[in-house]
């Protein structure tokens, strides 16, 4: 039987990467000297399943490397070798090498063989060193499985639902069960729910299903072998019946295992019953273990769905929203006896639409821990290399945000954390001299703020060096020699391209790339980054991001015949101005007083060159909008309604326009521009400066 295995590759890679993350996390938690057995088991399972997958798919380098790794882990697991700092370091390196190998294979590129073989050699040396003093080790190698078996006598539940045609194909469940019964103790329960009345039965069809409980020294592999022939003719779920609460460790062998069955068909009939093939005895435990975690995973009721499918769904929902808006608009104009009913139905539709939209959005949401999880390792390595002591604090890891946003926020965060460690946190002696604890703290925090998510990276280091930044800026003529800048303005300078105050560039940061890229990335996501700093106390970078990039709540406003959308989140309030509130300041254009403040007015008709209904301020309305901590008044003709709009990129379909963040299609099919409030504020301040 030949099966195209490449179809499983993606799943293998994806799951392997996930598993490596889990392995890394476990390694970082591993206490040198007194390791927790469960952590070692987790690590072992990862190595084991990657080995299995690698072998199945013919990635021999991966299989060979993980084999060495697995051997070492087995020693750790058995307690015959202590977890030393050296071993722990070696294992972390192995994670890196495995990741690199997987990436190379995934991209069909050559593996860095030298790096792999070097590390593999190191692993072998450690294993050999352990084995050398006691030649008996090899002999005892076969014993542990048998010894360990009693406390791990596995019980399995098998749900077996033959397809109708299974019997007709010559696979009699009776024969399978008989064979299983020879291997272990079996309890059978038949499910005859779908057995039709006698006269309707096609005698060749199988209408029964079974649940079997198998107890005894049998591993999943052996069970699967029994059902080997029936494979493809039935639904088969094999699950361990846990004696203890099941662990929820991702096991990456989902793709590998079914494929393995295709790959190595062992005819049950010819297999010596009750005797496992030589060599299989020692290794029979782990597969069962790794499979068990796999089924546990399946049990949590989650499925893997490709992002494209979800995006397609999003898109369709977006179109539906437009259609629904169109219908609502039509319904609002309807008259007659059924109009009320129609409107009630449309209101219902709108509610349902909103729910549907939210549900689909939630599908795309992932906790930010996916990004945060890479930091413990990074911080550990960096601190090690720089000779600093750093404590990493993570909070709000469960905060969810859109997958697209999540993917793009990783790199900026890495830059920021690196900066904190490299520039922010002082060396221990300097910290002690300043009366601080030797270990610096880097704190990553995520939280929801309205429709946004705020991610903060803060440290308790020296803070931004105001004088040095200013000196550097003057040196580069970015700032005039006599310009007086406020602190926030000075901190802004670090976001300029090519700006770096570090004299000696390290390999970590200070190459002059970084903060400007960070800001650009954040801006591309429709977010912003702010910095606060206090000399000697540390600095804090705050990234504010929209939860999603697809849909916003908007207020539609009209100017002449045009409709514009103002994001609801940036609206403070809307009001009609009185003549007395407005004044003209020289060089500042029009301003109006609002709660003791003077806010600039932007006339949208003037900005977009539209003929308005009125140019008299008190005849129209002013929408007070807020962005980047500042407020402006947008002068419009009228307010329409509030609605959710699907953002269509203007940049992708047309080009960038200042003050406009995108476009949307309204219910009547016309296009409305979505206003970019921070952009409008920039325009207002530019005008004020001019």
Partner 1 sequence: MAQADGLKAALCALAAHPEPVILDAAAVQRVDTAALQLLAAFVRDRRLAGRAVRWQAPSAALAGAARLLGMGPMLQLEGAGR
Residues of the shown chain interacting with partner 1 in the complex, contacts defined by CB under 8 A: 167-168, 172-174, 177-178, 181, 187-190, 192, 195-199, 201, 203-204, 206-208, 210
Q: For partner 1, which is the closer residue by CB, 194 or 323?
A: 194
- Least Å distance between CB 214 and partner 1? 13
Q: For partner 1, which is the closer residue by CB, 181 or 427?
A: 181
Name the nearest CA neighbour of 561 among 609, 619, 603: 609
- Least Å distance between CB 189 and partner 1? 5
- Least Å distance between CB 170 and partner 1? 8
Q: Which residues of 451-475 are buried (b: 16+ CB within 10 A; e: fewer)?
A: ebbbbbbbbbbbbbeeeebbebbee
Residues 6+ apart with CB under 8 A from 265: 1, 228
Give the separation between CA 529 and CA 456, rounded to whole angstroms: 9
DSSP assignments along 176-198, one per residue? HHHHHHHHSEEEEEEE-TT---G
Per-residue DSSP letter, 648: B
Neighbours of 679 (CB within 10 A): 17
Q: For partner 1, which is the closer residue by CB, 187 or 578?
A: 187
Give the separation between CA 312 and CA 315, rounded to whole angstroms: 5
Judged by DSSP in three states, 459 sits in: strand
Name the H helices within 420-529.
Answer: 428-433, 466-475, 487-493, 515-524
- Least Å distance between CB 207 and partner 1? 6
- Least Å distance between CB 266 and partner 1? 22
The answer to whether 644 and 551 are in contact (CB under 8 A) is: yes
- Least Å distance between CB 226 and partner 1? 13
> What backbone phi and psi angles, to 5 degrees, belong to 318?
-60, -45
Q: What is the radius of gyration, based on Cα positions, of the chain?
A: 33
- Least Å distance between CB 229 and partner 1? 14
Q: For partner 1, which is the closer residue by CB, 189 or 270?
A: 189
Q: Which helix or strand (DSSP H or E) is residue 46 part of?
A: helix 37-56
Per-residue DSSP letter, 679: H
Judged by DSSP in three states, 241 sits in: coil
Distances (CA, A) of 638 to 605, 617, 644: 12, 12, 18
Q: For partner 1, which is the closer residue by CB, 199 or 595?
A: 199
The answer to whether 228 and 268 are in contact (CB under 8 A) is: yes
Distances (CA, A) of 314 to 8, 362, 414, 524, 671: 26, 11, 29, 20, 20
The pair of three-digit structure tokens given for residue 401, joined into one six-digit string: 């945000």
The answer to whether 514 and 369 are in contact (CB under 8 A) is: no
Q: For partner 1, which is the closer residue by CB, 198 or 484?
A: 198
Q: For partner 1, which is the closer residue by CB, 209 or 672?
A: 209
- Least Å distance between CB 173 and partner 1? 5
Q: Which helix or strand (DSSP H or E) is residue 237 part of?
A: strand 234-240
- Least Å distance between CB 236 and partner 1? 16
- Given the DSSP bridges, would you call strands 621-627 and 630-636 parallel, antiparallel or unpaired? antiparallel
- Least Å distance between CB 204 and partner 1? 7
Q: For partner 1, which is the closer residue by CB, 168 or 532?
A: 168
- Least Å distance between CB 244 and partner 1? 28
The answer to whether 665 and 565 are in contact (CB under 8 A) is: no
Distances (CA, A) of 283 to 65, 225, 278, 288, 289: 17, 16, 10, 9, 11
Q: For partner 1, which is the closer residue by CB, 1 or 174?
A: 174
The answer to whether 664 and 614 are in contact (CB under 8 A) is: no
Q: For partner 1, which is the closer residue by CB, 29 or 164?
A: 164
Q: Which helix or strand (DSSP H or E) is residue 600 part of?
A: strand 597-603
Q: For partner 1, which is the closer residue by CB, 190 or 585?
A: 190
Q: For partner 1, which is the closer residue by CB, 177 or 499?
A: 177
Name the nearest CA neighbour of 635 among 656, 662, 608, 657: 608
- Least Å distance between CB 193 and partner 1? 11
Judged by DSSP in three states, 264 sits in: coil
627, β-bridge pairs = 630
Give the separation between CA 266 and CA 305, rounded to whole angstroms: 32
Q: For partner 1, which is the closer residue by CB, 230 or 238?
A: 230
Name the nearest CA neighbour of 569 among 529, 526, 537: 526
- Least Å distance between CB 242 and partner 1? 23
- Least Å distance between CB 174 and partner 1? 5
Q: For partner 1, which is the closer residue by CB, 210 or 635?
A: 210
Q: For partner 1, which is the closer residue by CB, 209 or 383?
A: 209
- Least Å distance between CB 142 and partner 1? 34
The answer to whether 254 and 118 are in contact (CB under 8 A) is: no
Give the separation between CA 425 and CA 383, rounded to whole angstroms: 10
Judged by DSSP in three states, 582 sits in: strand
- Least Å distance between CB 203 and partner 1? 3
Q: For partner 1, which is the closer residue by CB, 96 or 172?
A: 172
């Amino acid at each position: 039987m030949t099966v195209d295995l490449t179809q499983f590759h993606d799943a293998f890679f994806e799951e392997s990467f996930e598993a490596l993350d889990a392995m890394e996390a476990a390694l970082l938690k591993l206490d040198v000297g007194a390791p927790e057995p469960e952590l070692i088991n987790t690590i072992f399972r990862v190595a084991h399943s990657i080995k299995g997958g690698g072998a199945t798919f013919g990635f021999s380098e991966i299989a060979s490397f993980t084999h060495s790794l697995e051997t070492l882990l087995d020693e750790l697991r058995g307690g015959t070798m202590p977890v030393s700092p050296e071993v722990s370091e070696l294992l972390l390196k192995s994670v890196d090498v495995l990741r690199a190998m997987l990436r190379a294979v995934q991209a069909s590129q050559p593996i860095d063989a030298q790096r792999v073989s070097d590390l593999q050699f190191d692993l072998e040396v450690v294993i050999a060193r352990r084995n050398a003093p006691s030649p008996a080790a090899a002999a005892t190698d076969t014993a542990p499985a048998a010894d360990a078996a009693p406390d791990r006598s596995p019980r399995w539940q098998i749900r077996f639902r033959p397809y109708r045609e299974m019997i007709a194909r010559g696979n009699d469940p009776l024969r399978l069960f008989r064979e299983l019964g020879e291997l272990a103790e079996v309890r059978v329960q038949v499910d005859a729910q779908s057995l039709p009345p006698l006269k309707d039965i096609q005698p060749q069809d199988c209408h029964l299903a079974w649940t079997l409980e198998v107890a005894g020294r049998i591993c999943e592999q052996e069970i699967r072998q029994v059902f080997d022939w029936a494979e493809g003719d039935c639904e088969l779920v094999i699950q361990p019946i846990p004696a203890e609460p099941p662990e929820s460790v991702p096991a990456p062998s989902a793709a590998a295992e079914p494929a393995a069955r295709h790959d190595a068909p062992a005819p049950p009939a010819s297999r010596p019953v009750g005797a496992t093939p030589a060599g299989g005895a020692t290794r029979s435990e782990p597969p069962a273990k790794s499979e068990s975690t796999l089924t546990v995973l399946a049990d949590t009721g989650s499925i893997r769905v490709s992002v494209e499918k979800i995006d397609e769904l999003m898109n369709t929902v977006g179109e539906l929203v437009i259609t629904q808006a169109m219908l609502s608009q039509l319904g609002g104009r309807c008259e007659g006896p059924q109009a009320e009913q129609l409107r009630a139905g449309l209101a219902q539709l709108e509610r349902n639409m909103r729910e549907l939209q939210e549900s689909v959005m939630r599908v795309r949401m992932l906790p930010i821990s996916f990004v945060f999880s890479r930091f413990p390792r990074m911080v550990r390595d960096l601190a090690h290399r720089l000779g600093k002591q750093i404590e990493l604090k993570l909070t709000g890891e469960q905060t969810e945000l859109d997958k697209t946003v999540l993917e793009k926020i990783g790199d900026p965060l890495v830059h920021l954390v690196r900066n904190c460690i490299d520039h922010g946190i002082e060396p221990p002696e300097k910290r002690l001299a300043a009366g601080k604890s030797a270990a610096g703290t880097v704190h990553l925090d995520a939280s929801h703020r309205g429709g946004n998510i705020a991610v903060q990276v803060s440290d308790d280091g020296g803070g931004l060096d105001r004088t040095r930044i200013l000196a550097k800026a003057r040196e580069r003529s970015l700032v005039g020699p006599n310009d007086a800048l406020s602190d926030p303005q000075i901190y802004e300078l670090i976001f300029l391209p090519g700006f770096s105050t570090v004299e000696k560039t390290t390999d970590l940061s200070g190459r002059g790339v970084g903060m400007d890229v960070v800001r650009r990335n954040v801006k591309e996501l429709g977010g912003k980054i702010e910095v606060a700093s206090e000399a000697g106390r540390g600095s804090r970078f705050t990234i504010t991001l929209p939860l999603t990039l697809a849909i916003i709540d908007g207020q539609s406003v009209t100017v002449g015949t045009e409709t514009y959308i103002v994001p609801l989140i940036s609206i403070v309030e809307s009001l009609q101005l009185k003549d007395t509130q407005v004044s003209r300041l020289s060089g500042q254009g029009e301003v109006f007083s609002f709660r003791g403040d003077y806010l600039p007015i932007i006339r949208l008709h003037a900005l977009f060159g539209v003929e308005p209904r009125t140019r008299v301020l008190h005849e129209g309305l002013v929408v007070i909008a807020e962005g980047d901590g500042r407020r402006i008044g947008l002068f419009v003709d009228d307010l329409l309604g509030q609605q959710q709009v699907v953002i269509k990129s203007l940049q992708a379909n047309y080009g960038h326009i200042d003050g406009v963040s995108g476009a949307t299609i309204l219910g009547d099919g016309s296009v409305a521009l979505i206003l970019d409030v921070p952009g409008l504020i920039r325009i207002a301040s530019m005008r004020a400066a001019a």
